[in-house]
Chains A and B, each alone.
Chain A
Amino acid sequence: MTTSSTSGPAPGHRAAAPERLERDAPGPDSKNRPAWSAGALRLDRFSGLYLAVVLVVVFSVMLPDTFGTMDNARVIAASSAIAGILTLSVALSMAAGTFDISLAANMTFSICLLGALLTRGDLAWPVAVSLTIVAGALVGAVNAFVITRFGVEAIVATLGMSSVLAALSFWVSDGQTVLISDAGPSFADAGQSTIASVPITVFYLAAVAIALWFVLEHTPFGRYLYAIGSNPQAAKLAGIKVQRLQSLSLMITGALAALAGVILTMQLGAASFGAGAPYLLPAFAATFLGSTQILPGRFNVRGTIVALYLLAIAVKGLQLQFPDLPWIKDLVEGSVLIVAVSITARAISRRSTR
């Protein structure tokens, strides 16, 4: 799904337009390019992609029987799909200059709510799923209300919301994991089937990614979000409705978190209590790493997808290589978060001391 998006924005149009401004410089970003990135490889934008390819080759050679198999590729693709949707929702909120740490709790809550609606509510599953996603968006709306109306710091507001959601999750599910048996076979199919031997969840991620990529990079809404994320004051003075757009992005973010919960439930065939929590840290790690890729300095969809799979491949390869080191996943994800954030922070500070 990443390749379909690389054909996206400007290149095709650059040559055609008679632009005086273009003549001064050879390429689009030539001005700020650090020396090490010179050359055709464009390491500053695609380093993650290359690293992912290298890792795949290395692990496949080292572990031909476990890593280098179709099954393994399928496992990586499918398990990253759900994490990917959550990660994209993080990227969306960060692009708009807000921050939502309650996403994982929102995901857990959606799982519990869906479980309750299906087992106790006697609803057709598409209805239950829709209600769940609306509930996720509502959580986002409440977050937005607290943040924009009362001026509460986003991190504090959503930290509080996480705790509230944890309580609500317990309340709707009694803290139990429930098997979803009577939703019919089509419910399980929606999470477990494969199309051309690719797990269906991968298609969900692709759909979300393409939609978000389109919205962020090709619509006024997306451009306004980036403006708000970079300089809310100037955006406001340019006539942009900063609060409304930020609220909208938080609502979409919440709906996506709920969607991730729904798909996880479909995949497992069970509403598993507390299943959202482990997704939080990797989602932030991949988002920050993603902001150093493809469009460096921006929280962007293609970069996020690259980062997501890079992380997944690294973790999986190391897990298979060192099966008796269960902590390797946490170590990798935590380090990546720290390293990615320091790269971003350095870029920002270099920008502001110029």
Chain B
Amino acid sequence: MEAEGQARLQLAGVSKTFGAVRVLDDVSLDIAAGEVHALVGQNGSGKSTLIKVLAGFYQADPGATAVIDGAPRELGDPNDIHAAGVRFVHQDLGLVPALSVVDNLALGHGYARSQGMRINWREQRAAARRALAAVGYELDVRRLVDDLQPVERTAVAIARALQSAHGEMSILVLDEPTATMPKGEVQRLVQIVRAVRSRGVGVLYVSHHLEEVFELADRVTVLVDGQRVGTERCSQIDHKKLVTMMTGGVVDDVRRRAVGTRGKTMLSLERLSGAELTGLDLQVRAGEVVGVAGITGSGREEICSLVFGSKPRRGTVTVGDRELPPSRPDRSCRAGLALVPANRLRDGVVIGLNVRENLNITTTRGLAKFSFIRPGLDRRQAAALGTKMSVKAPSLDASIEALSGGNQQKVVLGKWLQTNPSVLLLDEPTQGVDISAKAEIHRLIDDAVSQGLAVLVCSSDEAELERLCDRVVVLREGRAVAEVAAPDIRTRQLIHLSLGLTA
């Protein structure tokens, strides 16, 4: 079915094989002018690969064609695609971590010069601030991208895609822009996307949050294992049907854990300060899940790193009845603390080690007998864990980068769950994870909690907090401003509280 208006992008016959694994199988897709076209599918279904083929990162198998605004373009040539006005916000990359925000925004766009060659830094910084303000964020543009929170990186990437596209943008591609974005900020992004599409730009939008798809998109294309199973108008399909197309079944993510089996206090924070956060007091008991909500910059993003000791802090952190020294992640680990960090690529997975080594990294000592790692045990444990977390990987010895974003996340979560920690710190635990895997992860957390685990979960996804938590603390400007307890936790109310609107 052809969309009205002239197609701005027509992709046809895209296949991609890595080694012997076929990741995309004859996928075709078209986007009309002013259309928001959603691309959905489970983790590892090939969404990012399709986007990287379009961007020219990967060479597609022979036979793939791209037509942009009526003119055939060379797939696999990043410059040609860029010249055609296609702009990308990639899932995991696209920014240079070692450079500042200013430099990243100037890449591919050019620096402001004063006379001759000299870069006019003042002008350049002001331009960077304007570009970020246009997408609703305010940050110190001299900071290195490496030091930014994931959502701030996304903001920089979006700002860059938009600024380098005055008028000549034909297609905007957004690969999971909202993975770590609180709902309040998602609304702002929705406004931006609507403004972009009203200029006649076609938008390709990838997200695991299906409500965004229905809010924003005109049509949706579903990928399953690299094959396109259908393209539907959003007005002619409902949530349930879409989930069925993606997963072949229904996903029910309902809470099964009973409230009220609490043990003694396992984690206790007293006057915890550092970064944005000022003087937070918080207790988490065994068998309890405490959530932290808050918009970007409220201090929510820092709590887990402060507690774990990967960022310098003031105040005391007590686990069980032992006080933890600051800045000693190894001691925190030994005290029974585990951290699933928000920045997966920098802090979570060890690039360079393979899937098996990443899964077992927290328990390697336990695999060794007389300091000899038993290879059979090594493989069996990794395989069992991979299966338990439903990790989709080409093989256990594949490089961790060969996994899709959501599957890397499952690896990170799995490696900590198998250490049987007494306190689990979760920072954006299900970012980029598809809905069925998310339900699965929630169930795993429920199970661990009913066996006495204490969990502190910081999440930008308020619906996830409603689903998981016994109590939610809402932060604003570094302070706790409200606390809600189950069963009265409501997504809408959390959003309102964190934005400072009265509920």
Contacts and interface: CB of A to CB of B under 8 A. Distances in A.
Contacts of A20: 383, 386-387
Interface in B377-421: 379-380, 383, 386-387, 391, 393-399, 401-402, 415
Contact of A238 (B368, B373, B391, B415): B415
A227 interface: yes
B19 A220 contact: no
Nearest to A28: B397
B332 A10 contact: no
Interface in A226-265: 226-227, 229-231, 233-241
Contact of B398 (A18, A31, A218, A353): A31
A25 B394 contact: yes
A234 B308 CA distance: 13
B127 interface: no
Contacts of B339: 237
Given A21-B386, A231-B350, A233-B346, A10 B365 contact: no
B346 A25 contact: no
B346 A13 contact: no
A223 interface: yes
B143 to A, nearest CB: 17
Interface stretch (B117-125, B351-359, B447-455): B351-359
A220 B371 contact: yes
Given A21-B386, A31-B21, A233-B346, A238 B93 contact: no
Nearest to A215: B371
Contacts of B93: 352-354
Nearest to B362: A238
B88 to A, nearest CB: 13
B334 interface: yes
Contacts of B248: none
Interface residues of B, number: 54
A6 interface: no
A24 B383 CA distance: 13
B144 interface: no
A226 B373 contact: no
Contacts of A241: 330
A21 B52 CA distance: 25
B352 A231 contact: yes
Contact of B350 (A221, A238, A353): A238
Interface in B1-45: 18-21
B375 interface: yes
B383 A25 contact: no
Interface in A3-43: 9-10, 12-14, 16-22, 24-33
B372 A218 contact: yes
B150 to A, nearest CB: 14
Nearest to B375: A13
A306 to B, nearest CB: 21
A199 interface: no
Interface in B295-349: 308, 310, 329-330, 332-334, 339, 341, 346-349
A227 B346 contact: no
A31 B379 contact: no
B285 to A, nearest CB: 24
A25 to B, nearest CB: 4
B350 A239 contact: no
Contacts of B310: 236-237
A224 interface: yes
A98 to B, nearest CB: 15
Interface residues on A, range: 35 or more
B352 A223 contact: no
A297 interface: yes
B330 A239 contact: yes
A236 B339 CA distance: 11
A10 B379 contact: yes
A36 B58 CA distance: 17
B353 A227 contact: yes
Contacts of A10: 375, 379, 397
Given A13-B379, A238-B362, A239-B329, A33 B352 contact: no
A32 B18 contact: yes
B376 interface: yes
A17 B383 contact: yes
Contacts of A197: none
Nearest to A353: B57
Contact of A351 (B18, B351, B362, B383): B351
Given A32-B18, A297-B352, A223 B394 contact: no
A230 B334 contact: no
A219 interface: yes
A19 B378 CA distance: 12
B364 interface: yes
A239 B334 contact: yes
Contacts of A240: 330, 361
Interface string B451-468: 000000000000000000
B18 A223 contact: no
A122 B155 CA distance: 71
A354 B365 contact: no
Nearest to B390: A20
A218 B334 CA distance: 23
Given A31-B18, A226-B352, A19 B383 contact: yes
A239 to B, nearest CB: 3
Contacts of B362: 238-239
B402 A32 contact: yes
A233 B21 contact: no
B368 A220 contact: yes
Contacts of B383: 17-22
Interface string B96-130: 00000000000000000000000000000000000
B352 to A, nearest CB: 3
Contact of B21 (A21, A24, A351, A353): A24
B367 interface: yes
A234 B402 contact: no
Contacts of B357: 223, 226-227
A22 B329 CA distance: 33
Contacts of B21: 24-25, 30-31
A230 B346 CA distance: 11
A21 B350 CA distance: 20
Contacts of B399: 31-32
Nearest to A241: B330
A234 B310 CA distance: 10
Contact of A223 (B332, B341, B373): B373
B199 to A, nearest CB: 30
Given A22-B395, A31-B19, A237 B352 contact: no
Given A29-B397, A33-B19, 17 more contacts: A10-B379, A14-B379, A18-B383, A28-B397, A32-B19, A218-B373, A220-B371, A221-B371, A226-B353, A227-B353, A230-B353, A231-B350, A239-B330, A239-B332, A239-B334, A352-B93, A354-B93
25 contacts: A9-B375, A10-B375, A10-B379, A10-B397, A22-B395, A25-B20, A25-B21, A28-B397, A29-B395, A30-B394, A31-B398, A31-B399, A32-B398, A218-B375, A220-B364, A220-B368, A220-B371, A223-B353, A223-B373, A230-B350, A231-B349, A234-B347, A236-B310, A237-B348, A238-B361
The 5 closest A-B pairs by CB, nearest first: A230-B352, A239-B333, A19-B383, A28-B397, A31-B394
